[in-house]
């Protein structure tokens, strides 16, 4: 115990069993090998507006935001040339109906608040809305749900979006790791992504070949290639999206 304490105080790795030591060594060795593999060039995109995006992020930071609401996030994604769904925030029922009529039905409605991270948890999402009457009913119901479940939350409005065609959800993430720096995550999306944790990681920026390897690492990759009669996902678009996000 005294020896272990000395190792811990000096941040020196120690292992109780040789198996756990071997597993850790194997991960480190595989990482070293991956760095030595010949990769393709990091692609550059002339339409990415990095300076504008940084200025906007700095503004959000000055405002003390802990996280960005969906409408704010969309602004950043658009500056990086990432595919987004046209959307607008409605302050009341009439604005919501007007915007829904403009976009065309069906539409999606989502609560927007700096105090709410998971909209589904407060019943703040309504999908496949097909008429103005449904828009008004959903608006009233969502505002009532949020006021009951999150009474102190500051509501910015309700985001009105055109519903997109059904497809395979994916999730992408970025993290500033204290050791590796910028790290990008890929996996299948959906409401249970935090449960299954079927994701893979790479150090950003990332080249095309590394992205393809990264995608194939997740257990559910075959779902993207098409199984049981389903069409394959647009892999090329996913690769480009990851490239843009990793820059």
Q: Predicted confidence band at 111 (pLDDT cuts at 50, 70, 90)? A: very high
What predicted TM-score, i.e. pTM, was given to this entire model? Answer: 0.74
Closest by Cα among 74, 145, 146, 68 to 114: 68
**For position 180, what pLDDT does the model report?**
85
Q: Is the peptide bond before 205 cis (omega within 30 degrees of 0)?
A: yes
pLDDT digits (tens, 9 = 90+) for 186-231: 998 776 677 778 899 998 988 888 899 899 999 888 888 887 777 8
What single-letter DSSP state applies at residue 41? Answer: P
Residue 134 has pLDDT above 90, yes or no: yes
């Amino acid at each position: 115990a005294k020896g272990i304490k000395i190792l811990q105080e000096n941040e020196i790795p120690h292992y109780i069993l040789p198996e756990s030591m071997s597993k850790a060594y194997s991960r480190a060795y595989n990482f070293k090998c991956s760095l030595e593999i010949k990769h393709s060039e990091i692609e550059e995109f002339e339409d990415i507006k990095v300076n504008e995006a940084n200025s906007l992020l700095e503004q959000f930071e000055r405002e003390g935001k802990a996280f960005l609401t969906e409408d704010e996030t969309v602004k950043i994604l658009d500056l990086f040339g990432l595919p987004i769904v046209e959307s607008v925030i409605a302050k009341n029922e009439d604005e919501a109906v007007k915007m829904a009529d403009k976009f065309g039905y069906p539409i999606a409605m989502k609560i927007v608040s700096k105090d709410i991270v998971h909209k589904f948890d407060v019943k703040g999402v309504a999908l496949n809305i097909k008429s103005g009457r449904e828009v008004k009913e959903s608006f009233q119901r969502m505002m009532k749900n949020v006021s009951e479940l999150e009474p102190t939350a500051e509501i910015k409005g309700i985001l009105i979006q055109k519903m997109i065609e059904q497809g395979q959800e994916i999730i992408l993430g970025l993290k500033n790791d204290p050791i590796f720096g910028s790290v990008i995550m890929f996996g299948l999306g959906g409401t249970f992504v935090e449960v299954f944790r079927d994701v893979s990681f790479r150090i950003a920026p990332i080249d095309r070949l590394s992205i393809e390897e990264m995608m194939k690492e997740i257990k559910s990759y075959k779902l993207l290639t098409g199984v049981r009669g389903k069409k394959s996902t647009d892999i090329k678009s996913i690769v480009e999206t990851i490239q843009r996000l990793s820059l």
